[in-house]
Structure 1
Amino acid sequence: MSMNKFPCVLIYSCSDDDPLKTIKLIRDEENIQVSNYEGNILSNCWTIDCKYYTADINLCTSNNLNELSEQFIHNVNAIIILFNIEKSNMIEIMDKCLPVVKQSQAEVLILLSEKKIDEMSTNVNSNTIFEWCRKNNFELIVLDEIADEMDTTGIERVRQALYAHHWPNLKAKCQITHPSTKAVIEDTVINSQLSGELSDLKMDTEQDTDLFSEMFEVDNDFFKTIDKVRKLKEKISAMPDEERKDAAEKALTESWKAFFGEDVDF
């Protein structure tokens, strides 16, 4: 398959941050090979090789969204927007990315900040950023945020979101149709830190509850389950900290019941 046929991750900078730096962080490599995909698009080919599948994808950057071809946008499965909270016109700049987001129908949407959002040192109200993420189904990730035992943050969270996506060209190493064994739980929930993904959840609408119930249908395979977890989080991300605890407890309880049965003790 030609490199131009691989699904793509578009990394676009709304700030002075270099997208190539983000690609190096994702790959955890300082020396990467970059080629010209088409037009003003630079690309780095990356083979995702995890326990369950392999997939060849392109990590791409462009400095002009207006020059992206329809074919390229069609191949975009994930979009990562780099932003600087200290810029006063940040929301306006981010809004200019939305036409490409909608045209691409990308399922992994990440707003990536170099620094933690501090209300006292920014020109943009933090709630405005959270609302933008909620409205446009983006996940806000901060690079310098420190993870706790139940959460994944920074570039590790970016990698996790990319690993969890069901890439159209993935080659499965095994078939999982009913994740009910302890070994699978350890790999998909603990090692992938699925509990960390669920820690930001808040189920407060009928639509979210329906999606949560659907997520644990017994005929779902591994990739669909992980993908629905991510979509559920995106729908209700960026909620205040005080509202997350009850939702996280409910989500984790239902997760264990789905995997181990109703009789499990908590």
Structure 2
Amino acid sequence: MNLPRALIVSTKEGKAKEIAESIGAKRLSEEDKIVDYLWNIDNKYYTSQILVRAVENLSHKLPVEEVDALIVYHDPQADKLDQELEQLTSLATSLTAAEVLLFSCRAISDSPLRDKVLHWCLHYKFELVELEQTGDSECDTEGNKYGIERIIEALHAHMWSNIVLKDKSCMGQASEVNEIEEQFENIRLTRDPMETLRMQDVLDGIMGDENADFGELYGQLMAMKEHAASLPTNERRLVAEQVVTAFWKAMGGDLLEIED
């Protein structure tokens, strides 16, 4: 099956399959302890089919070829953390082509342990996704998604090779454009801040294009979000307004409809 691939690897038996099924993937087959799922993405902007492969053992020979997204499930333990992260590092460095990198686990209440895991995630460009919401979580104050919803959101944001964009007429509503603005204002920094600075030229180029096509804009959405993540709140809001304006114009909307 020649489809873009997402790999889910778990150090806890059953978690990889649980995540695959929780995002809505349908089981296809199992061979040599690798369970294959078909995931049909159908959101407001595009449709796509993804082959999701679930493996429950990190030491198993992993199908790392042509993987676009990697989701690791691991519950870190303080007394074994260095050894555990060393093992995960080997996996992370073997998947140089994967663009979506997620480290999922239960909520980490131990602050020093969480800091170490976050440091590792930042170094290897993973986003930490805790499957339960903690009391002081950023999700409470900024409206960010967490757990399975965040995993789905991150995967939906990726530009899969077989994306089929939906017709503009299906999306030309002001409320949907407002959602794009909200995403920018609530964005979390998931990559190395130095990398986001390199996106400035991309953002400036798109914002200055009077005839930008919706498909082209969508193709650059993640680059723009990465750039916005490095900005302070007030500047991030300004970028959000610029992006909303560009999307609205590309969909043929009247600028008067989205002005305050």
CA contact (8 A) 1:14 1:93 kept: no
* Paired amino acid for 1:40: K
Please give the secondary structure, in 2, of the residue aligned with 1:59. strand
User: May I ask how many residue pairs the two structures share in their alignment?
Assistant: 234
CA contact (8 A) 1:77 1:107 kept: yes
Give, in angstroms, the shift of residue 6 of structure 1: 1.2
Please give the secondary structure, in 2, of the residue aligned with 1:125. helix
Give, in angstroms, the shift of residue 13 of structure 1: 1.1
**2:23 aligned residue:** 26
Distance 1:7 1:202, change over 3 A: closer
Distance 1:216 1:50, change over 3 A: farther
Alpha-carbon distance in structure 2 between the residues aligned to 1:204 and 1:22 = 29
CA contact (8 A) 2:38 2:50 kept: yes
Distance 1:93 1:203, change over 3 A: closer
1:252 aligns with 2:260: no
Q: What is the aligned counterpart of 2:165 among 165, 169, 172?
A: 172
Distance 1:210 1:75, change over 3 A: closer
Give, in angstroms, the shift of residue 170 of structure 1: 1.5
Give, in angstroms, the shift of residue 217 of structure 1: 3.0
Alpha-carbon distance in structure 1 between the residues aligned to 2:199 and 2:72 = 26
CA contact (8 A) 1:201 1:233 kept: no
Q: What is the aligned counterpart of 1:42 among 35, 44, 52?
A: 35
Identity of counterpart residues, as a percentage? 20
* Paired amino acid for 1:168: S
CA contact (8 A) 1:35 1:42 kept: yes
Give, in angstroms, the shift of residue 12 of structure 1: 0.8
**1:241 aligned residue:** none
Q: What is the aligned counterpart of 2:221 among 223, 226, 233?
A: 226
**2:61 aligned residue:** 67
- Structure 1 stretches lacking a partner, 5+ long: 237-245
**1:189 aligned residue:** 181
Please give the secondary structure, in 1, of the residue aligned with 2:36. strand
Matches within 5 A, 1:136-175: 136-145=124-133, 147-148=139-140, 150-174=143-167
CA contact (8 A) 1:200 1:248 kept: no
**2:87 aligned residue:** 96
Alpha-carbon distance in structure 2 between the residues aligned to 1:140 and 1:155 = 12
- TM-score normalized by the length of structure 2: 0.73
- Structure 2 stretches lacking a partner, 5+ long: 207-211, 247-257
- TM-score normalized by the length of structure 1: 0.72
CA contact (8 A) 2:69 2:99 kept: yes
Give, in angstroms, the shift of residue 199 of structure 1: 4.3
* Paired amino acid for 1:98: T
Alpha-carbon distance in structure 2 between the residues aligned to 1:40 and 1:150 = 38
**1:129 aligned residue:** 117
CA contact (8 A) 1:55 1:171 kept: yes
Alpha-carbon distance in structure 1 between the residues aligned to 2:168 and 2:66 = 25
Distance 1:168 1:187, change over 3 A: same
Distance 1:89 1:248, change over 3 A: farther
Alpha-carbon distance in structure 2 between the residues aligned to 1:258 and 1:229 = 8
Alpha-carbon distance in structure 1 between the residues aligned to 2:115 and 2:236 = 25
